[in-house]
Chains A and B, each alone.
Chain A
Amino acid sequence: MKYVALVYYQESLIEAMTEQQWHDLNQECIAGVERLCAEGKYITGQPLQPVTTATTVRVRNGETLISDGPFAETKEQLAGFYLLDANDLDEALQLASRIPPARLGSIEVRPVRELPPKD
């Protein structure tokens, strides 16, 4: 099964890090991805720029509405995602627990939904 692991943390925690701590965290994430790849569990993933760079778009009555910022203000912000290939939820949770920011914030694990076949 495919699972998405959504990585959330308070960006303020990251901002408070020293240069060295930030560097180490990134290196740890790179090593983690390499290990997931070697195990055949990693499909794709990407860290994100901070929410200050977010723009939200909605279409209402055919009109495109654009607003500055994330769609909702939350205590922890979405910081990145992993698309994982796991046998079941237990394995997905175990893999997610190894994502380094799990120590700082929260990782939400969701199974992907397959679209029905094209008509």
Chain B
Amino acid sequence: MNAMPASPAHIEQIYQDHSRRVLATLIRLLNDFSLAEESLQEAFVAALHQWPQEGIPDNPAAWLISTGQRRGIDQIRRNQTARRHAHLVEHDEPSTEEADETPIDDDLLRLLFTCCHPALAMDVRVALTLREMCGLTTEQIARALLQRPGTVAQRIVRAKRKIRDAGIPYKVPDSHELPQRLPDVLKVIYLVFNEGYSRSDGQHVLDVSLASEAIRLTESLARLLPDGEVFGLTALMYLQHSRRDARQDQCGELVTLEHQDRNLWHQADIRLGLDWLAQALQLTPVAPYTLQASIAAEHATAQHADDTNWKRIVLLYDALHQQHPSAVVALNRAVAVAMRDSPREGLRLLDQLSSTREVLSYHLYHAARADLLRRTGDLESARMAYQRALALTAQEPERRFLTRQLRLLDDHLASRPAP
């Protein structure tokens, strides 16, 4: 014990710093998510009682773990019906020394892989990751995802029950499974990040930044699991996040990359993004997140929109499309080709894509087509394409953006001399 005075605020800070790692270890020791959470709370309450008198332990995390484990085992003893846990009760008092040696970081990885397990539905994985890994409350998650707190709470309860009853293992996949499982984890993190953007529509003030949570998650993942794609995703998110203040104007209206005030881009984030990208490029230069980060880096390092190296961006999209042939990638590639060559060339590529229903129901396809048609001067066709895009999206900022484009087009059409 050291002599440092322990104010409640100080203890609260220690809790903030360690609670996720302590929880991750308690889940392993007690083999039960809910019990681990209760035990963590009890350990924290005990800390609030004991630390102000006895001082803060040298290793607060180890103290919280052993106290939590003891409380958890007491709880199991009280519920003698929980026969499943019988083997845990056989061990007596866990010693602090034991907890000291526990590789706590491995537990955090276990927790992340369990929260992102493919046997859980995607929306469940997102909610569970935010709850368990980021430590957000059910209310915060509900607000961030624009869902009812009751829905989120129920989803999390069901997920924990499935983890327990279906025997979803609390482990980091073996090295031969890892390549298959890691993309699942990265996908959840990137979804959390993007959720942060699509939900902050100016009408809702969020008290948590999902984008920051996602970045924090990949950074800790990168520390625990140095994989090129983890670096690539971290780079991608930093580079995108650097534009957070430029992508909306003061009225909350969307501003396209081309028209953003690049002075508003956060240079510190861009530098971090480029650093992560450099590391990613050494390991996985042509993997999907690394390629997307490379594209984002081209934009981030162009002084003006006109300086953008579209030639290189098209090449990067080519590589990405080869790895991941998807309509969205093809669409972005067509736009890049339009910027490199001509709007007409981009339109030709977009028309080739129009054979699939998936593309035709995607509002950004029509928005991109409208923009290119406008650039070629075919304002009537552009108008129709904007209207189709508008009919296909329910997101308010997107709708306002498209409506504004339509109005600009109408003004233009009205001012043209009648044929």
Contact = CB atoms under 8 A, between A and B. Distances in A.
Nearest to B81: A116
Interface stretch (A47-55, A87-95, A98-106): A87-95
A88 B169 contact: yes
B119 interface: yes
B1 interface: no
Interface in A54-73: none
Contact of B173 (A89, A90, A111): A90
B168 to A, nearest CB: 5
Q: Is the interface of B mostly helix, strand, loop or mixed?
A: loop
A4 to B, nearest CB: 12
B169 A111 contact: no
A93 B167 contact: no
Contacts of A87: 169
A38 B166 CA distance: 24
Contacts of A1: 167
Contacts of B177: 90
Nearest to A93: B119
Which applies to chain A's interface (DSSP): helix, strand, loop or mixed? Answer: mixed
Contacts of B169: 87-90
Contacts of B166: 89, 110-111
Nearest to B169: A88
Interface string B159-196: 00000011111010100010000000000000000000
A92 B165 CA distance: 13
Nearest to A110: B166
Interface string A69-89: 000000000000000001111
Nearest to B170: A88
A86 B168 CA distance: 11
Contacts of B173: 90
- Chain B interface residue number, banded: under 10
Nearest to A2: B167
Nearest to A117: B83
Interface in A15-61: none
B119 to A, nearest CB: 6
B119 A88 contact: no
Most buried by A among B167, B168, B171, B173: B167
B169 to A, nearest CB: 4
A3 B167 CA distance: 10
Nearest to A91: B169
A111 B165 contact: yes
Contacts of B171: 88, 90
A87 B168 CA distance: 10
B11 to A, nearest CB: 37
Contacts of B165: 111
Contacts of A3: 167
A88 B166 CA distance: 8
A1 B163 CA distance: 13
A87 B165 CA distance: 13
A60 to B, nearest CB: 30
A101 to B, nearest CB: 20
B167 A111 contact: yes
Contacts of B167: 1, 3, 86, 88-89, 92, 111
A43 B168 CA distance: 21
A3 B177 CA distance: 21
B113 to A, nearest CB: 10
Contacts of B168: 88-90
Name the residue among A86, A88, A89, A93 with the largest chain B CB count within 10 angstroms. A89
Interface in B77-126: 119
Nearest to A86: B167
B416 to A, nearest CB: 56
Given A86-B167, A92-B167, 20 more contacts: A1-B167, A3-B167, A87-B169, A88-B167, A88-B168, A88-B169, A88-B171, A89-B119, A89-B166, A89-B167, A89-B168, A89-B169, A90-B169, A90-B171, A90-B173, A90-B177, A93-B119, A110-B166, A111-B165, A111-B167
Q: Give 5 nearest A-B pairs by CB, closest first.
A: A88-B169, A88-B167, A1-B167, A89-B167, A89-B168
22 contacts: A3-B167, A86-B167, A87-B169, A88-B168, A88-B169, A88-B171, A89-B119, A89-B166, A89-B167, A89-B168, A89-B169, A90-B168, A90-B169, A90-B171, A90-B173, A90-B177, A92-B167, A93-B119, A110-B166, A111-B165, A111-B166, A111-B167
